[in-house]
Amino acid sequence: MGNNHASLDDILAEDMHHWYNKFMKESPSGLITLFELKAILGLQGMNEDANSYVDQVFITFDMDGDGYIDFVEYIAAISLMLKGEINQKLKWYFKLFDQDGNGKIDKDELETIFTAIQDITRNYDVVPEEMVTLIFEKIDVNGEGELTLEEFIEGAKGHPDIMEMLRKTMDLTSVLVIIVEGRQKPNNCK
């Protein structure tokens, strides 16, 4: 009974008016900039890799590329994280990993993102180099040192251990909790 957190599955069940109010409370202009996102999530003063990762997350959620996350993009991002099908999530991961936008991910890009995620989450259970080595050993069957979107999706889906590792590494639950609960002062009102 003392649990104040809604289950993540219930989050999207809230009505749009409620979501809109939360969004507008955090960003009264109706648009969230990269700087505001970092402030909302309490992510200022990070190292270069972690900062680059947050920048990349912002870019992937800024679907129209205008430099802002609007309400529709905000809802789409939350929906993807909570309810997205595995192919949708893998496409999003790929876009996040493909830092230079060339349609392929290489070992350096993957390691940079994994290192950045660890710097943000403070979860150092697995060494990024080991994750990258495992992914490329199992998925890069041609040995090219790069993965296309198709190779990445099919390879990840074909290896449950890689899927589990990606799921754990890319878990954005802590970010969602901040978004859902906002930066509200504790109060007794709902």
pLDDT tens sequence across 93-127: 888 888 888 999 999 998 988 887 777 777 778 88
Phi and psi, residue 27, nearest 5°: -140, 85
pLDDT at 76: 80
Residue 127 backbone class (left: φ over 0; alpha: ψ -120 to 50; beta: rest): beta
Is 13-181 CATH 1.10.238.10?
Answer: yes
Q: What global pTM score does this model have?
A: 0.68
DSSP 61-99: H-TT-SS-EEHHHHHHHHHHHHH--HHHHHHHHHHHH-T
Residues 55, 34 contacting (CB under 8 angstroms): yes
pLDDT in tens, the chain (190 residues): 334 445 555 555 556 677 788 788 888 898 989 888 887 776 666 677 777 778 888 888 888 999 999 988 888 877 777 677 888 888 888 888 888 889 999 999 989 888 877 777 777 788 889 989 999 999 998 889 999 999 999 999 999 999 888 887 777 666 666 555 654 433 444 4
Domain boundaries, the chain: 13-181
Dihedral angle computed from the Cα positions of residues 37, 43, 26 and 13, in that order, rounded to the nearest 10 degrees: 80
pLDDT at 190: 41
Contacts of 19 (CB under 8 A, 6+ apart): 71, 75
Contacts of 38 (CB under 8 A, 6+ apart): 44, 54
